[in-house]
Structures are given as structure tokens and as C-alpha cells.
Structure 1
Amino acid sequence: MMDADTIVLPRLASTEVSVEDPWGEDHGNVADPATDTRRWRVAAWLVPALLMGALCLVRAGAPALSRDEPATWGMVAPALMRWWTEALGASGLAARAPSMVAVTAAAAFIGVLAARLFAPRVGLLAGVIFALLPTSTRYAQEVQPYALTVLAAVLATLFLVLAIDRPTFGRFAVYGASVLVLGLCHGPALLLLAGHGWIVFAFRRGVAGRWLVVAFLGALPAAAALVLLGEQPGAQIARGSAPSLDVLAATPRELFGVTALGVVLLVLALFSLPLRRSAAIYTAWAVVPPLVLLLVAQATPIWLPQFLLFTLPAWATLGAVALARARARWCAAVLVSIALLGASVQVDPRVAHVDAPQGAHAGSAGE
């Protein structure tokens, strides 16, 4: 009896996907691997930083400082501003310089983080989109805690990624320090930890215990300050609003500068929500803190769009992920559209918001 012929089947591409990549996507398919060079990695942070820096300088010294600006810098403000004004003076431009530097650095680190998690092209696009948002320029030109808060949020997320990728004591210590700075800049920004916790428990449960300890210790000083402030007679931690439909409808305009820009970024974000870890990090960053704030606001009227400014880098990056999959001409068209939509507000972002509610600048941990 003859043995049956052996049939050799060609090996097909594996359909098995990892837990962190359930849709079968890998980190290199959003951009041509040939672009993953040192030159493009430098461009991913340098171009956004140059663009953001240039936009920050447009009419940065006018108008003069408002009464609200110096009073809302949070717990780190008094020492920082005293040192800064003694060194460079108290003119409008000099007083706003820390915010301008912080937002410019944030644009650069947005590019660095997105390039690490996706590809240099995504990092470049993310940083450029962030720079083109009118609110980025607005708070770069105000003596407010929000610019430093955005930078601290970007750094905290970057250090979280580094810590969970290689969980060493040093990396978790740096992450804890960034959480400490985040809370001291703006207490409500600690809502970011809800998004970080989702990421850790979803993808790196093995380090969840260490993350909880570090996050708790980093957030403790700002949380304690908020509690003490709330116990003072007549103190008000935040002068916000109840999240009515009208208030929620106005949030995209306050958060992105122009309502249409919020719609554009939301639509782009819908095209960048595969369940892989890289996109999930930004989805949790963009979505979880607003949901937590919304729940808290059901009990006390603390809803303010400014409390969510630290989510702007996540929205910008989700939009960049979608754009990176498009052809260059479509990508350029969307960027031009974003620039045009925000152009009228970019001319003088502070004047466009003079009719903001009186509580719009409140809520710093150290008020």
C-alpha cells in the first residue's frame, strides 16, 4: 500500500493577533517604514515646536495683563512668578513667557510621544494639529496655569508609557514626579490619572500595584491642598456650572476655540480608534477624564471646559493617526482646513474670549 502523498500548503499570513493588537494592526502600518529615520524623528518634534513658537509670538505682548491672569497660577505660581518677574520684569510679554515656553515644549513632546507610539509622521501631524488649535495659542498668551498643565500632562503620559514598558524604580519615580507637578499646576488635571489607570489595568495589570502607589503619592499633595482649601470658610475650589445641555453644547467652542474644529477632530478621532494599545492610550486620555468630570459635576457644579484642556494633545494625536492613513494631498487639505477654521481666532485669541463666563479662569488648586 502506497503512502498518501504529502501535501505542502503555503504558509499564510498569520491571522492571530496579540492581546494589545486585536484588530491585527502593528506599529508601523500608519506610515512608510522608510520614514522612520533620525531626520523624521527630529522633524516630529522640531516642526511643531517652531510652528507653536511662531504662533505664540503673534501679538503676545498685547493687551496688558488682566486682573484675572496673575491670580490664577495655582500653587506653583507665587514663587515662580516672583522669580520670573525679578529676572525679566513684569511686562505683559515677560509675564506670559513661561506659558509660551510651556506650550511650545508641549507641542514638541506631543510629537515625541506620538512618534514613539506610532511613527514619526503621526508625531509630526499631532504636534502641528495641536499648534493650529486656537486654544493652544490663547493659553500660551495668558498668565494662567493651563499651559504648564498641558505640558505636565504630556510628560506624565510619556513617562507612564516608559514606566509600563520597562517598569523600573527610576522610571516610576520620574512618573510620580510628573504627577506631582501636574497636580501642583492644576488640581483638577489629576483627572488624567483616571485615564492612566484604565490603561494600566487594561494592558499592564502586572504593574498595577506599583502604579497605584506612585500615582497616589504623586497626587497626594495637590489632593490635600484641595481638601484644605475646601474646608476654609467661604472658600470655593471652582466656580463652574452644572452640566446642562447648553453648557455641554458650548464645551467644544471653549475647548478647541471653534466649534467646527471640535467636530473635525471628533470625526477624525472616530477613524483612529482600533483597540491596539497605542490608540487606546490616547482614547483613555481624551475620553475618560471628561466622563469622570461629568459624573462629579452631577453632585457639585464644577463643570468648566478649561478643566479639560489637558486632553487637547490626545485629541490632536487621534486626529493625526487618522490623517496619517490618508494620502498626502488629503492630509494637507485637512491641515489647511484646520488652519483656516481657527484663523479668525488665532489673530487675537484673548479678544475672542472676552465674553467668557466669570468663572472661566477659576479652579486652580491653589486659589
Structure 2
Amino acid sequence: MKILLLSVSSLLLTGCVSTPLLVYKYYPAKATAQVSVTQTIDCDADKHLVILNTPSISSIYSSDRRGTPLEFDASKLGTVFTDNDFTFAWYDDGRLRSLNSAVTGQGEAIVKSATTLLAVITGGAAATDEAAACKVVASRGSGKPVTVVYERALDDLTQVVAPTALTVSQNYKGNYDALIKVVSFPLLEVKVDIAVTGNPILVEPSASAGDAGNEGVPLTLARTTVATITVTKGKVPIGKSAVIAPTAQTYALSVPSGALFGKATFSVQLNEAGVPTQVSYGKTSSAAAALNSASTLDSALSPNDAAQASALKAQADVIAQTARLANCQAKPSECK
């Protein structure tokens, strides 16, 4: 009998495979934004200026490399007596995309553009000499409206930003420099307000979990807040957008570790802001199988490369359509 027990023990030790002794590293996300105002200038038949201002706010997520990366120790998920199926996926810049342990499928977060194209705002310039301004428009536009784009990059959406003037994009300085001599444009500014309290954590241990709520391997995720970006013209708001902003504060989501008998499964999918969009837990035993729960969490998503390309196309469309609108307002008979 002793020989038999020794043989079985040897078989268990050599025949079972544990999770490799690897520590997975990943970077938390950070939120930035690009703010712009497209200004289209034209003149009507009576040589009066027609000026349209179209604000646009585009949020962007990337990995935060200012600190050390976060870590997840996969070796703690199981022992030599467990078989583990584990997948860890990253975004291209090192942010965590999904984690799947046991038999759960690899997740893919749905990414949507968070570009905000706001309503066209008409007016806002007091011309010292409208006739002279219209001559500039005619000479630089060759019969078409003249465009000036103002912009400002916001590099940290976890910090309050006092009203800050937008600057003229380098590609449009020629138009601006020619017009500013005869036109007094209103001040275009952007400000950022941060929510007083952070976003609630939508997945956390139940109060009745007791010690069982502490089991598992912690997966560190960033807490988030909401940054409200406001664009103003002459101190009057003309556009606003709310963006989810990851902060330096963290919390832990417990990934269940394996047991000698039975099986525990876990899957989490994250959007580009690092917010869980789907979490699922499962547990089976040798006696019966029971799927615990799956929870899908909604949050604002940000653009990936394709969405940012769409945002650039949207800005080009804004320039084209505002130019058309300005022309229609200035020259109704030529409106097409």
C-alpha cells in the first residue's frame, strides 16, 4: 500500500502543470484631450462679416509611463495540483486590455470615439473696418470663406485647469495675421473642472463575504474621476464635454486562485480608460457546477487609432461644412 501511495503521489507531482512563475506588468491609463475651435470668416453682399465658430473636443487615452508599471503575479493563481488556463492581453502601448483565467474566453472591449463636435456658433468679432476685413477675405479666400483654427492640448485631465487661451494653429497663422490687423476677435479659452468625488467602484467584495472576500490574487486597477472640459468665447460657454479620467488612486479586483478540487474561472475586460466593461466569475465543484454571475458595466469610451482617424476626418468635414454655411449666409444666391 505504501508503494502504491508513493506512486500516486509521484504521478500527481509530475503530471500536473501549474501556472508559470511569471509576473505580468502593465501600465495604468492616462487621459489627455485636444481642444480646437474652427473659425470660418466670410462677407455678405453688403460687406458685413459673417463669422462661425465650431468647437471640437477629442479625448485620447494612452499608457501612463510617469511611474512604475503595475504588476500581477500569476504564479499565485494555482498550485502543482491544479491545471490553469490563463490569458493576459495588453493594448499596444502596455495598458491592460483583458485578463482571463481558467476556461473563460479572451475579451475584446468595444471602443467608441469620444470626439465631441458641437453646434456651430455664429458671430463674435467686432471689426474695426469691415470693408478692409472683407478685402482680406476676398484676397486670401479667392471667393471662398477664410478659415482659422485655434487649439490647445490638455496633457493631464486629473488636474483643474483655469481658463487658458487657445492659440492659433501654425497652419492658419497666415490667415490670422492678415485678419487681426482689421478684426478684433473675441478671446477663445478652455478650462477643466474635476469632479469633487471620484467615480464609484462598480465591482467590490460583498459586505457578507467575510474572510472569503479576501481570497484570490489582487488585480490592481485605477480609480477614475470625471473631467469636464468647457470651451468659451468671450467668457461665454460655447461647448462642453465630460471625459473619464484615470487617477493615481487604485483599488484591487480579486482574481480567484485555484483549489485542489473544483474549478474557478474569472474574466475581466477593460476599456481604454482602464474601466471594467465586463466582469465574470464562475465556480464548479466535483459535485455540481454553478455559474456565479456576469456583470457588464457601461462607461464612456475613447477613441482608438481608427476612431482618432475618424475624428480628424470629422474636423475636416467641419471646416468644409462651416465654410459652405458661411458662404450660404453671406451669399444666399450662390448657396449650393
Greater strand content = 2
| TM band (smaller chain) | under 0.3
State the structure with more CA Rg.
Answer: 2
TM-score normalised by the chain length of structure 2? 0.25
Report the TM-score when normalising by structure 1: 0.24
Considering fraction of residues, name the structure with more helix: 1
